[in-house]
Amino acid sequence: MKDFNNKVAVITGGGSGLGKALAEAAVKRGMKVVLADVNAKALEQTLEALRAQGADVIGEVLDVTAAAAVAALAERTQQHFGPANLVFNNAGVASAGLIWESSDQDWDWLLAVNVKGVANGLRAFTPQMLAAAKGDADYQGCIVNTASLAGVLTGPAMGVYSVSKHAVMAMSECLYHDLSLLTNQVTAAVLSPSYVFVASRFVRFL
């Protein structure tokens, strides 16, 4: 996609960190933006800051682990702005610790947010993007999942996180392959950041 002006970007985890930075970059390029975040206060502050810059942006407080809420976000996006062009499945959480000491709760939490949250995003948005492509030869869309360098390499004391991000890498590659069977108007990409310093950190130590 070369022209972003007036296109629609959806960003989960858009209230802070990389999601907020993605929102700012999208707004700078003239995109209409839909932000979703579980943290209502962070979301509101980011929406206010973007609107102060004249951005056309809406927000939804939701938990990406809730499939119905993510499906409703896709519906709201379609109703308000039309089909999404860029969907950033960016919301993610981390934990640190020895892998055999990671609790049942840690496994459930990280896999739910980092893996199922991304699956919910692609399940909710891919059909609307494929439909848009079918109806408009000029339409282009891309689903961008945030993995991590920890989705490619492994290191000490971040086992559960690394497992979850390897899953995001595999899910993104599978999405790319599956989409390429159907169309060249909708595709998938994956972000694999190394350590990025952002204003708010969400690392839960054991």
- Token pair, residue 196, equals 């990025």
- Minimum gap (Å) between residue 22 Cβ and ligand NAD: 9
How far is Cα 31 from Cα 34, in angstroms, rounded to an integer?
Answer: 10
Q: What does DSSP assign to residue 107?
A: H
Nearer to ligand NAD, 10 or 133 (CB): 10
- Minimum gap (Å) between residue 181 Cβ and ligand NAD: 27
- Minimum gap (Å) between residue 160 Cβ and ligand NAD: 12
Q: Which residues contact 124 (CB under 8 A, 6 or more apart)?
A: 67, 70, 71, 73, 74
Nearer to ligand NAD, 60 or 139 (CB): 60
β-strand 32-37 against 8-12: which pairing, if any? parallel
Q: Which residues bind ligand NAD (CB under 6 A)?
A: 12-13, 15-19, 37-39, 42, 63-65, 90-94, 113, 117, 146, 148, 193, 195-196, 198, 200, 202
- Minimum gap (Å) between residue 59 Cβ and ligand NAD: 11
How far is Cα 39 from Cα 83, in angstroms, rounded to an integer?
Answer: 25
Which residues are tagged catalytic?
161
Q: Which residues contact 69 (CB under 8 A, 6 or more apart)?
A: 60, 62, 63
